[in-house]
């Protein structure tokens, strides 16, 4: 198809395409790593400070935060890129 022809022939288009892939990868993977290695562990630490009879509330908050993060950030980024 014609887009492959332009990609193969134009160094500028190849460079911009590579920049786009790298930028999207950094934003997408960086946000996933931030959530998995910073936000979720922080929520786990907060759960330890809550009494046992109120642990369901922190579990609910953590699960809700995870769902909202995926619905409002990960899925839209994936669809846009």
Tell me if 81 sits within 8 A of 25, measured CB to CB: no
* Number of Cβ within a 10 Å radius of residue 51: 6
Alpha carbon 6 to chain centroid, angstroms: 31
pTM of the predicted model as reported, rounded to 2 decimal places: 0.68
Dihedral over alpha carbons 26, 27, 29, 32 (to 10 degrees): 150
Which pLDDT tens digit goes with each residue over 12-56?
Answer: 888 988 998 898 888 888 989 999 999 889 888 888 887 777 778
Percentage of residues in the chain having pLDDT higher than 70: 98
- Residue 75: pLDDT band (50, 70, 90) is confident
């Amino acid at each position: 198809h014609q887009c492959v022809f332009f990609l193969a022939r134009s160094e500028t288009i190849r460079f911009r395409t590579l920049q786009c892939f790298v930028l999207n990868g950094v934003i997408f993977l960086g946000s996933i790593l931030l959530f998995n290695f910073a936000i979720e562990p922080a929520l786990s630490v907060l759960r330890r400070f809550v009494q046992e009879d109120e642990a369901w509330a922190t579990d609910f908050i953590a699960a809700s935060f995870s769902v909202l993060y995926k619905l409002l950030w990960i899925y839209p980024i994936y669809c846009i890129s």
